[in-house]
Amino acid sequence: MLATYPYQGRPFAFDPAAPLDISLPLAPGAGQVNCFWAEPVKFEVIRVGSFVGSVAQGGSTNYQRVHLTPHGNGTHTECYGHISAEPQATLDRCLRRFLFVARLVSVQARPQPNGDEVVLLEDVRRELESGPDANLWPEALVLRTLPNHKSKRTRQYSGTNPTYLEPALAEYLAAHHIEHLLLDLPSVDREEDGGQLLAHHAFWQYPAATRTAATITELIFVPDEVEDGLYLLNLQVTSLALDASPSKPILYALYDGR
């Protein structure tokens, strides 16, 4: 049975039983996606007196401690607190809605004279401003970079100068009121840029006119079989009082509900 979701005066339908998970799992060990020299995720069995938090080791229950770095391990969502010292700039305060109309677009990064691979404004704008959905502006943009190698699921990005966004693209998205940006890269900015973080600042319009409700989600993976187009995005995060959280973005294909 399809559910309905109204947006910009139009009724849309989606199937709640057909979720498309575009997150990467958080699992222990060195075989998981990693960036910015973060330590691998660790799960540690808690031991208190004679209690062992592992059924496999004879305990009554599994009870473990998790060690992770949100910005470096797996899919994560961040708010403007990533570049701000303001104590209230935590994701649990900034992200207050969790359902958004999203547009998935696929673009190829372009090589620059310095050897960098960069996603350019002109390529994303061409995709957003063309096609049957061009007259319906989304709240969120899901960006899939091409080629879409499955190695993105386990890639070790640290020290590789990964693909990043042209700052003008981030400025364009902010100007067009796209509140949530999701991408399959470790960062919207260059791995080492001297601390400028130009695309972060442009997307959040920080500090002149900060878009406090806007978020960036990095290290997603969108399988090839998920087609470009309109989706309902369910952006799931934990309630950590930090600038970032591990997250689980879910897409639902949208259909004309008329």
Of residues 132 and 39, more confidence is placed in: 39
Q: Could you tell me the pTM of the whole model? A: 0.97
> Does residue 43 fall inside a structural domain?
no
Mean pLDDT computed over 80-103: 97
> Does residue 32 fall inside a structural domain?
no
Q: What is the pLDDT of residue 105?
A: 98
| Residue whose tokens read 């990467």 | 24
> Does residue 239 fall inside a structural domain?
yes
> Does residue 48 fall inside a structural domain?
no
| pLDDT at residue 255 is higher than 90 | yes
How many domains would you assign to the chain? Answer: 1
> Does residue 34 fall inside a structural domain?
no
Name the amino acid, one letter, at 42: K
- Percent over 90 (pLDDT), the chain: 95
> What is the Cα–Cα distance from 133 to 202, expressed in whole angstroms?
25
Give pLDDT tens digits for 175-217. Answer: 999 999 999 999 999 999 999 999 999 999 999 999 999 999 9
Q: What is the pLDDT of residue 257?
A: 76
> Does residue 82 fall inside a structural domain?
yes
Range of the domain at 115: 3-26+72-256
Question: How many CA atoms, within 13 angstroms, populate the side-chain half-sphere of residue 80?
Answer: 23
> Does residue 78 fall inside a structural domain?
yes
Q: What is the pLDDT of residue 170?
A: 98
Give pLDDT tens digits for 142-170. Answer: 999 999 999 999 999 999 999 999 999 99
Mean pLDDT computed over 247-257: 95
Q: What are the tokens at 103?
A: 């547009």
Q: What is the pLDDT of residue 186?
A: 98
Q: What is the pLDDT of residue 30?
A: 84
Domain CATH number, residue 195: 3.50.30.50
> Does residue 40 fall inside a structural domain?
no
- CB contact burial 41-63 (16+ within 10 A = b; e otherwise): beeeeeeeeeebbbeeeebeeee
